[in-house]
Structure 1
Amino acid sequence: MKFRKLLLCMLAGIFLAGFANIYTYAAEEDQNVTVNTDTTDKTAGTQNDAANTNIVTVPDSTTEDLQKPADAAGTANADTAKEETASADNTTVKEQETKTADTTKKAPVKTKAKKAKAAKAAKAAKAKVTKKATVKATAKYSKADLRLLSALIYCEAGGEAYNGKLAVGIVVMNRVRVSAFPDSVKSVIYQRYQFGPATNGSLSRALAEYDNGKFNSQNEKACVRAAKEALSGARNITIGGKTKKFGSYLYFSGRLRGYTYRLGHHQFK
C-alpha cells in the first residue's frame, strides 16, 4: 500500500512538472509573438514614417536638379539635331560640289572629244582635197597620147600664145570626155574630116621631129607643156589675169560659123 501511494505521488509530481513546463513554453511563445508583432508594427510604422518623411521633405532643389538634367538632355538633343541637320546640309553641299566637279570634269572631256572629232574630220577633208589635187596633177596618160597631142597642138596653134595652145588641147580632151566623139586621144585626132593636119601631112612631120628628138624649141616645148596640162584635166584658161572656163567648147577653127568665143586667130564654140 505504501509503495503504491509513493508511486502515485511520483507520477503526480512528474505530471504537474510537465504541465508547468508546457504552460511556461506557451506563455513564452505568446510573449514572443506579441513582441514580434509589435516590433513588426513598429518597424513598418517607422518605415512608413521614413517614407512619408522622405516624400514630404523632398527639397525643391531636387526637382530643379531633376529638371536640369531633363533640360540638359533636351538641349543636348537639340544640339544633336542641329549637328545632324548641319551634317546633312554639309553632305548635301558636298554632293552638289561633287556633282558640279564631275560636270566640270566631263565638260572638258566632251569639248576635247568634239575638238578631236572636228580636227579628224578636217584632216580627212584636207587629205581628200589633197588626194584629188594629186590625182589631177598626176593624171595617168600614155607617152603616145602626149606625143600625139603635143604634135597636134604644134600644128594647129604653134603660132598662138600659150593660152591659145592650151585651148586647143582642152577642146581635144573635151571631145574625149563626151559621148558624141570617140573615147581616146588618137581616135579623136584621126577622126575623119575633123583636123586638117591629120590629113595634109603636117601632123606626120611634127611626129617625126618628136620621135627624132628635135621637138625641143621653145615653141615646141610650150606645146608639150600645154599637152601635159590638158591631159592632166585642165579645163580653164587664163586671159588678162582672169579665168575663162573652157570645159564646154568642142570646136575651133579660123573660120567657124556660130562661134561664141574668139582667142587669137581661132574661134571656139
Structure 2
Amino acid sequence: MPLTDRELFARLIQCEAGGEGDTGMKAVASVVMNRVNAPGGEYKRIGQGSIRKILYQTGQFVCMSETERGSYNAQNVYNMRPEQIHYDIADWAIAGNRLMDLGQALWFFNPFSPSCRKNFPSSIGYLVTRIGDHCFYNPTDAYYKT
C-alpha cells in the first residue's frame, strides 16, 4: 500500500533530522513546505504545491533514496518508523507554520564540520542559520531565474 503524503513527510523528518531535536526537525519540515509553496523557480515548476513531488524530486533528499553512489542506503524513509512527534511536526508544517529564523530557506545540508559554507547550492542560496548539524540557506534573486 502506498504511503500517504503525511506518512512520507513524517518519515522524511525522522530520517533527515530525527537526532536534531524539535527545532531541527521543524527546520527541515519548514524547508520542505517552503519548497512546496515556492513562489517561483525550480521548486514551483516541479513541485506545483505537492509534498510528494518535492520529496521525490531526484537528488534532493538522501533519505528518499534506497541507493547512494551505487550502494544500499539503509537510512531511507522506507526503513523509518515515525513516532507521534514526527507526525505532529509534519502536521505543524502542513498547517502553514514555519520557524521564523529560517526566512524562506529552500536548502539545508550537513557540512560535517563546525562551519557552514557561505553559499549553497552554488551561488543561488545564502546562509541564514545553523541549527544542530545542519546549515540552512535562503534563495537569492538568481534562484528565481532557474
Give the TM-score, by structure 2 length. Answer: 0.68
- Residue 60 of structure 2 corresponds to residue 204 of structure 1: no
Once residues 196 and 252 of structure 1 are traced to their aligned partners in structure 2, the CA distance between those partners, rounded to angstroms, is 12
Q: Secondary structure of the residue that 2:60 maps to in structure 1?
A: coil
Q: Does 2:133 correspond to 1:265?
A: yes
Give the aligned residue type for 2:27.
Answer: A
Q: Could you tell me which of 164, 187, 194 is aligned with 2:53?
A: 187
- Aligned equivalent of 2:89, options 219, 226, 234: 226
- 1:45 corresponding residue in structure 2: none
Is this contact kept in 2: 1:174–1:247, CA < 8 A? no
* Letter of the structure 1 residue corresponding to residue 85 of structure 2: A
Unmatched segments (≥5 aa) in structure 2: 67-72, 120-126, 138-146
Corresponding residue for residue 33 of structure 2: 173
Higher helix content, 1 or 2: 1
Percent identity over the alignment is: 34
> 1: distance between equivalents of 2:98 and 2:78?
27
Deviation at 1:147, TM superposition (A): 0.6
Q: Which has the higher strand share?
A: 2
* Contact 1:153–1:169 (Cα < 8 Å) also in 2: yes
SS at match of 2:65: helix
Does the CA-based 8 Å contact 1:176-1:185 persist in structure 2? yes
Counterpart residue type for residue 234 of structure 1:
N
- For residues 82-135 of structure 1, the C-alpha deviation after alignment (integer angstroms, 9 at most, x for no partner) is xxxxxxxxxxxxxxxxxxxxxxxxxxxxxxxxxxxxxxxxxxxxxxxxxxxxxx
What does 1:45-124 align with in structure 2 at a 5 Å threshold?
none
1:171 deviation in Å? 0.3
The 8 Å contact of residues 190 and 198 in structure 1, kept in 2 or not, is answered as yes
1:169 aligned counterpart, secondary structure: helix
How far the C-alpha of 1:223 sits from its partner, in A, is 1.3
* CA–CA separation in structure 1 for the residues paired with 2:88 and 2:79: 20
Q: Are 1:250 and 2:120 matched, yes or no? A: no
Shift of 1:245: 3.5
Counterparts of 2:128 and 2:103, CA distance in 1: 13
Cα deviation, residue 203, structure 1: 1.1
CA distance in 1: counterparts of 2:103 and 2:6, whole angstroms: 20
Amino acid paired to 2:135: Q
What's the RMSD between the two structures over aligned residues? 1.7
Q: Is the 8 A contact 2:32 2:106 kept in 1?
A: yes
Q: Which has the larger radius of gyration?
A: 1
Aligned length: 109
Choose between structure 1 and 2 for higher RCO, CA contacts under 8 A separated by at least 6 residues. 2
